[in-house]
Amino acid sequence: MSKLTKQQEQELKDAFDLFDTDHSQKISKNELKRVLNALHIKASDQELSQLMSKMDTDNSGEIDFNEFKNVMAGSFFKKYSQQELKAAFRKFDADGNGYITTKELADILSRMGRHLSRNEVEAMIKSLDKDNDGRIGFDEFCKLFD
């Protein structure tokens, strides 16, 4: 992939920080497993080990930001199909009503090991909520991937 812009690098850093729940600047196998579980992605221990070894190029047993960036950059910034976006949206829209609410976002972040205050989660929702209805619709969600 070509060189990342500063904004793209910051987006990857923000994603990395969500995974790095103990703020060690490294993602452990347990942190990676917690994130996959939070997103309802089933991975066996063998699959998890394979993913770790693919990302952990210095064989330290953990993934640092540069390793994460090198693996994730190509897929993180690719253009997704409507079908792929709908599948991702459904992982967040727990009740299937077509919107991601503050509670749904807080629940998934909590399952990822991120326990944010209600105000912090509401601020995340507000940053994407263009029609000011207090929730994220599919079209607003898609804007994340433009």
Query: How confident is the model over 27-64, as pLDDT tens digits?
Result: 999 998 887 777 677 888 899 899 899 889 999 999 99
Indicate the residue among 48, 76, 104 that finishes a domain: 76
**What is the arithmetic mean of pLDDT over 123-145?**
88
Indicate the residue among 21, 49, 76 that finishes a domain: 76
How confident is the model at residue 2, as a pLDDT? Answer: 53
* pLDDT tens column, 2-30: 577 788 788 788 888 888 889 999 999 99
Residue 1 domain-assigned (yes or no): no
The secondary element (H helix, E strand) that includes residue 124 is helix 118-128
Average pLDDT along the chain: 85
For a pLDDT cut of 90, what percent of the chain falls above it? 32
In terms of pLDDT, which residue wins out, 137 or 113?
137
In the numeric block, which tokens belong to residue 89? 């949206």
Half-sphere exposure of 139 toward its Cβ, with a 13 Å CA cutoff?
3
Task: Reduce the secondary structure of 32-81 to three states and give it as a string.
Answer: HHHHHHHCCCCCCHHHHHHHHHHHCCCCCCCEEHHHHHHHHHHHHCCCCC
Structural domain for 15, as ranges: 6-76
* 123, 35, 73, 106 alpha-carbon torsion, rounded to 10°: -10
Assess whether 12 and 72 both reside in one domain: yes
Backbone angles phi, psi at 24, to 5 degrees: -85, -5
Assess whether 94 and 136 both reside in one domain: yes
How confident is the model at residue 1, as a pLDDT? Answer: 46
How confident is the model at residue 127, as a pLDDT? Answer: 87
How confident is the model at residue 75, as a pLDDT? Answer: 64
How confident is the model at residue 119, as a pLDDT? Answer: 93
How confident is the model at residue 78, as a pLDDT? Answer: 64
How confident is the model at residue 74, as a pLDDT? Answer: 67
Q: How far is CA 78 from CA 3, 8, 23, 58, 96, in A?
A: 14, 12, 27, 26, 26
Indicate the residue among 47, 76, 105 that finishes a domain: 76
